[in-house]
Amino acid sequence: MPDGSFLLIAALVLVLAAEFVNGWTDAPNAIATVVSTRVLSPSQAVLMTAVLNRTVISVALRTLW
């Protein structure tokens, strides 16, 4: 029987990987929304998404909340 801590770490890695992949699909939706409503220019929206949606910190925070 595997150690419980190994299973916990494996589950956490899988959750973080799923959240990271989820960011790839959320980014186009976020960009399209702010550009179509003219809140941000396309370059500003892409830059903001690249900084806020692709970082490990963002993934960790979304996982914790």
pLDDT more than 70, % of the chain: 74
Give domain limits for the chain. 4-64
Burial of 59 by CB count in 10 Å (0-12 exposed, 13-18 middle, 19+ buried)?
A: buried
Which of 4-8, 39-43, 50-54, 59-63 is the least confident region?
59-63
**Which whole-number Å values give the CA distances from 5 to 9, 15, 47, in the listed order?**
6, 15, 38
Round the average pLDDT of the chain to a whole number and report it.
Answer: 79
- What does the chain come to in residues? 65
Mean pLDDT, range 26-35, rounded to an integer: 84
